[in-house]
Structure 1
Amino acid sequence: MLPRLSRSLLVKRTIYTTFSFGAAYLADTELNASAVTRNLRTLWTCALISADYKLNFTPEHADRIPAIHQRVADRMYDLFTSNGGLYIKIGQAIGANAALMPAPFQQKFARLFDDAPQIPYRTVARVFQREFKKSPQELFAYFDEEAVASASVAQVHKARTWDGEWVAVKVQKPDVGRQIGYDLMAFRAVMWAFEKWVFDLPVYFAVDFISAHLRAELDFIAEASNSQRTASLIALEPRLAGKVHIPKVYPEYSTKRVLTAEWIDGVRLSDRDALARVVGEKVPERSGGMFADTEHKQRRNGVPESMRDVELFSAQMFDWGFVHCDPHPGNIIIRARPASSSSFFSLPSSLLSKSVLRDPELVLLDHGLYVTIRPHVKRQYASLWRALLSSDWDTIRNVTESWGVGEAGLFASAVLMRPVRMKRTGNGSSPHAEKDSGANGTTGDAGAELDAYEQSVRMKERLKRFLVDTDKMPKELIFLGRNMRIVQGNNQSLGSPVNRIKITAYWASRSLVTSNGRTPTTRTSLRAWWAQLDARELWQDVVFRTVMFSLDVVFLVSKLRQRVRALLGLANGGFEDELERSVRGFTRSAFGVEVGPEAFEG
């Protein structure tokens, strides 16, 4: 039994220690936006993950590996949702590229949405006082204190200017700015540990590039600049002008942490029922809708018109070299094209009538995350796309080798989102490729014979051969791959109304023919365009267009099969669904990884 003095001293020390930790926690919460607490949570979670893999990822414990993957996926998901903020963005990046990850990651991260509780109005008012020295009610004639949408980084309020214009006011959550330095420091430490100690895979090379773009996403002045630049580029592109709209920005109501833009009435691309009503498509099992049957027939091409994002992002990648990297369905609104091309006004969808309704117009939101593609990388990327469709295997190999990629076939499959197998002929001369065919795209299930440990080792070795020289790899490809994957998901979610691969490839080929890739519209511009023609590229473009006819046939057969199955009441699927099945077969045979359908949800 301790002496009374010792017990008293122990009690005092316990009280002091508890008080100190409590004070530190309170200070971190109130003054530091819980940055230290969040980082400790991150480091602890990563330590658990590392220890779990180090101790249990062994040949002797192969039967336990699926359970390890499940525990790790659960821990990572809980970490991202608990920390919020930029952690949600990192989790979404994982989710967008989860197809080659174990099944628990595919299932978990497909459900990681950019949603968060609202910050209270008093906090919003403090942001306005700091940015404008005015309250929201002083700055605007009307300001809705309840946010209409809230994400991890910012929330949006509806307001009206003193000139009577309705606007969307995006307000950055104050905690995010205070957390970002700590978050990126933890991100850097974790990636270093995963590469050097845990997984022995090259993942650290992209940290600086990703961190810089995540920082830029918090600068709303930069976002306004991105938005205005994109609007100017669209206005100069005849194939997009009047069909794609970028909300007007109000610089006088915008700062680094507050962005005010034109309010847009329409429906999200993710809201399929509402989208069907706006574009005039018939909604199953629903009567008394907005449009009569005759209007459905007149506007049966409404859904393909709504998929202008394929053309828009192709122009960004291959012509402009300035790419929006977060085109998820929540950032795309479809509305009826305004009655006047000079008007920014659009009636609410509930008030649309036959006299006002015109062709659908795509509205692109959230211009915070952009990547600029260097000119030589842009040209290489366009060359790669054209080569993939015209079976120019020498070009594919030359481009991938210049990028430090050791697995040309794997890289080609990732870019095209279609299985491509490259190998050399028997005499070791020129390379050629095998394309998986059929609905499931299987070329054998060798991977299915491996146990969980052997499958994981096989994938790791394949990925290490894939990233041979990370110093050569253009970092822009990280975000380009994300963009392409989301656009594919958008098209797939609407039943594959457009041939995404064909559209993308045509833009790539056109961009190589001339320096600006644009179609001439006047006699003067025709002469300038002709002067810029590259004869060699023009000939390759002609060859490419001839080859592309086969893809048209495949797409038309797919659409015919889709309609026949619908008439027979059978399970249906579009062109993208067939490609998905092909990719799933490819990953099973190449990596021994069973990819679930959740990995392909847009």
Structure 2
Amino acid sequence: MRKIPLRSVAILSFSIGGIYLFDNKFNARTFQRNGLTIWNGLCIGLDYKINFRPDKGDKIDELHERVAQRILRVCKFNGGLYIKLGQAIQVQSAILPPAYQRTFKTMYDEAPAVDFDQVAKIFQEDFKCHPDDMFDDFERVSVASASVAQVHRAKLKDGTLVAVKVQKPDIKKQMNWDLMAYKALMHTYEYFFDLPLTWTAETQDKHLRAEVDFINEGKNSERTKKDLEKIRSLKDKVYVPKVFWDYTSNRVLTCEWIDGVKVTDKEGLARYGYKLHDVMKTTIDIFASQIFVTGFVHADPHPGNVFVRPHPNKSKKHYQIVLIDHGLYVEESIVFRHQYSLFWKSLFLMDTDTINQICQEWGISDPEIFASATLMKPYKPKTALHIATTRKFSLQDAYEMQMALKERIKTFLSNTELIPRELIFVGRNMNIVRALNKELGSPVNRINIMGNWAVKGLGSDWSYWDGNAKTFNEKQQQLLGRENSFIDFFSQLSFVLKSRFNYWMFRGTLLLISIGFYLTKVRESVGNWIKGKEESSKGFEDVLDDRMKQTIEENFGKVFEG
């Protein structure tokens, strides 16, 4: 056997060690992070390809567990944007297999902070001075740390308390490689599994790059403040902290300091004496108004970005919702906002023609799946939203049923070029808001609130309540020149009756959903009282999650066992 020369071994070892040291010291661990990502990505793909087979149907939960643990390890080791990936999985975990629920439940815990020396270096590069030269007091230890930045409490020279958000130094170095690795994996999975996965990549890339520009975040916050001030019912209930532009750069954002508690802090809200129902309703009103009315949507409203404080100008019983972290936003087109509002209204009216028409224009071939994903509850055409299925199904062949799910997802997006990119981040917003409501025990009926705001988004034109018919103005134009006033009168009368009927049908559907919601609450309260329990074990969102899982099982098998 030929011996390997010691010199070659030494050169190889020296080279590997040199690359490792360079990667750690000057390259923000880019080679290690992306090597880990690609390796684990390939392992996950092969694991599913090899073990997702008919003869291993009873091992599916073990497969999900392995994959979930792999993804979690990659997210925690790589940090940065990978934390956001883990948080996105955590948001969706309620309708994912239990392995993902167990594994990703800690993803909103604080990320590690960087040392103050690195913070000072960023100030020196951006402002040509030390933080102590800019502020009367700058706390060395951060008060919060997230995926791309950390926050320090400081005091301006005039005594004003501020929150200084400082970007972590390696984020921009890592971003290009992170996004390249993400795109490469999406292309690989699309090839292996024959599923449309890459269509979101460019949109995700664009918005994530905008998120790490703190000048852009400051502008977003000021625009959001102006938008919300125009909505009379919310103007006094929501607050966006002021930006101090003289202390802001692309990597440093300085805003006024706000004391409060997280929107999901039950004990904190109880100390203030605020009702969970009121706080959660206002929170959903804020984000629903963005989706359906203003069209400028906060795409990352997780618990760390939504606070509650006592109203500064009113009695203690009044509160304000405080929105922070305005980096990730999506701006809806006017056409999309109108279509999305009309889509929601049509769900309540069981107007399948309009639902199908909108889905066709958006390149979505399965309106039923899309409607269920939008509502985050099972949706069946011609079945009122307040009616739920109770049918039970047993698993006959896990592999075949899950393959059926894959095929349906595959054909769900019939033309990805037509899909509005706004849906990516609007869906993210709605998923996170649903999770907030669930964490508080589902004190409000989220679906009803969203439905009401969808109607506000359509405005006061009665023509939107006339099914798929033309607008009232178009009808009037058609009737001009007709000499038969008798026909003109009955055409207008028909329009008035039909539009009012549809409107009150919508209101009736909301009422029935509300009755069902409160009956569920009463039943749980009585059951807990009989059993001696203090709190409800399942809220409204839990019930919807269970029904979503049951619906998937009915169609595709028990993919959620375990």
For residues 566-581 of structure 1, the aligned pairs below 5 Å read 566-568=528-530, 569-570=532-533, 571-581=536-546
2:434 alignment partner in structure 1: 488
> Which residue type is aligned with residue 119 of structure 2?
V
> Which residue type is aligned with residue 89 of structure 1?
K
2:485 alignment partner in structure 1: none
For residues 280-319 of structure 1, the aligned pairs below 5 Å read 280=273, 301=275, 303-319=277-293
Instruction: Please say if residues 243 and 362 of structure 1, whose CA atoms lie closer than 8 Å, have aligned partners that are also in contact.
Output: yes
Matched, 1:59 2:33: no
Q: In structure 1, how many angstroms separate the alpha carbons of the residues matched to 2:249 and 2:281?
A: 32
Matched, 1:384 2:323: no
2:519 to 554, 557, 563: 557
Instruction: Please say if residues 196 and 410 of structure 2, whose CA atoms lie closer than 8 Å, have aligned partners that are also in contact.
Output: yes
Instruction: Please say if residues 510 and 541 of structure 1, whose CA atoms lie closer than 8 Å, have aligned partners that are also in contact.
Output: no
2:360 alignment partner in structure 1: 401
Instruction: Please say if residues 89 and 104 of structure 2, whose CA atoms lie closer than 8 Å, have aligned partners that are also in contact.
Output: yes
What is the CA deviation profile of residues 350-401 of structure 1, one whole-angstrom value per residue up to 9, with x for unaligned ones?
Answer: xxxxxx5131211111111101111111111101111112222221121122
Deviation of 1:436 after TM superposition, in Å, equals: 8.1
For residues 503-582 of structure 1, the aligned pairs below 5 Å read 503-514=449-460, 540-568=502-530, 569-570=532-533, 571-582=536-547
Deviation of 1:69 after TM superposition, in Å, equals: 2.4
What is the CA deviation profile of residues 131-186 of structure 1, one whole-angstrom value per residue up to 9, with x for unaligned ones?
Answer: 11111111000100000011121000000001111000000001111000000000
What is the CA deviation profile of residues 47-99 of structure 1, one whole-angstrom value per residue up to 9, with x for unaligned ones?
Answer: 21222233333323434433332222211111111111101112222232244
Deviation of 1:444 after TM superposition, in Å, equals: 3.0
RMSD: 2.3
> Which residue type is aligned with residue 550 of structure 1?
L
2:178 alignment partner in structure 1: 183
Matched, 1:332 2:306: yes
1:27 alignment partner in structure 2: 22
Q: Which deviates more from structure 2 when the two are superposed, residues 153-162 or residues 470-479? A: 470-479
Q: In structure 2, how many angstroms separate the alpha carbons of the residues matched to 1:433 and 1:461?
A: 25
Deviation of 1:403 after TM superposition, in Å, equals: 1.4
The two structures have a TM-score, normalised by structure 1, of 0.83
What is the CA deviation profile of residues 569-593 of structure 1, one whole-angstrom value per residue up to 9, with x for unaligned ones?
Answer: 3554333232222222212212324
Q: In structure 2, how many angstroms separate the alpha carbons of the residues matched to 1:545 and 1:443?
A: 28
2:169 to 169, 174, 198: 174
Partner secondary structure for residue 301 of structure 2: coil
Q: In structure 2, how many angstroms separate the alpha carbons of the residues matched to 1:591 and 1:457?
A: 8
Instruction: Please say if residues 128 and 136 of structure 1, whose CA atoms lie closer than 8 Å, have aligned partners that are also in contact.
Output: yes
1:247 alignment partner in structure 2: 241
> Which residue type is aligned with residue 442 of structure 1?
T
1:450 to 377, 389, 397: 397
- Structure 2 unaligned blocks of 5 or more: 462-494
Partner secondary structure for residue 170 of structure 2: helix
Closer, same or farther: CA 502–596 of 1 in aligned 2, 3 Å: farther
> Which residue type is aligned with residue 449 of structure 1?
Q
Instruction: Please say if residues 302 and 360 of structure 1, whose CA atoms lie closer than 8 Å, have aligned partners that are also in contact.
Output: no
% of aligned pairs identical?
A: 40
Instruction: Please say if residues 168 and 262 of structure 1, whose CA atoms lie closer than 8 Å, have aligned partners that are also in contact.
Output: yes
Closer, same or farther: CA 368–32 of 1 in aligned 2, 3 Å: same
For residues 92-171 of structure 1, the aligned pairs below 5 Å read 92-113=87-108, 115-171=110-166
Deviation of 1:544 after TM superposition, in Å, equals: 2.1
1:48 alignment partner in structure 2: 43
1:284 alignment partner in structure 2: none
- Structure 1 unaligned blocks of 5 or more: 282-300, 341-355, 423-431, 516-533, 598-602
Deviation of 1:596 after TM superposition, in Å, equals: 7.7
Q: In structure 1, how many angstroms separate the alpha carbons of the residues matched to 2:229 and 2:94?
A: 36
Closer, same or farther: CA 73–384 of 1 in aligned 2, 3 Å: same
Closer, same or farther: CA 434–559 of 1 in aligned 2, 3 Å: closer
1:212 alignment partner in structure 2: 206
Deviation of 1:333 after TM superposition, in Å, equals: 0.7
Matched, 1:69 2:64: yes
Instruction: Please say if residues 88 and 114 of structure 1, whose CA atoms lie closer than 8 Å, have aligned partners that are also in contact.
Output: no
Matched, 1:82 2:77: yes
Deviation of 1:434 after TM superposition, in Å, equals: 6.7
Closer, same or farther: CA 79–537 of 1 in aligned 2, 3 Å: farther
Q: In structure 2, how many angstroms separate the alpha carbons of the residues matched to 1:150 and 1:587?
A: 37
Q: In structure 1, how many angstroms separate the alpha carbons of the residues matched to 2:539 and 2:63?
A: 35
> Which residue type is aligned with residue 391 of structure 2?
T
Q: In structure 2, how many angstroms separate the alpha carbons of the residues matched to 1:538 and 1:208?
A: 43
The two structures have a TM-score, normalised by structure 2, of 0.88
Instruction: Please say if residues 384 and 509 of structure 2, whose CA atoms lie closer than 8 Å, have aligned partners that are also in contact.
Output: no
> Which residue type is aligned with residue 434 of structure 2?
Q
Matched, 1:420 2:415: no
Q: In structure 1, how many angstroms separate the alpha carbons of the residues matched to 2:243 and 2:72?
A: 35
Deviation of 1:114 after TM superposition, in Å, equals: 5.3
2:472 alignment partner in structure 1: none
For residues 223-302 of structure 1, the aligned pairs below 5 Å read 223-278=217-272, 280=273, 301=275
Partner secondary structure for residue 330 of structure 2: strand
> Which residue type is aligned with residue 548 of structure 1?
L
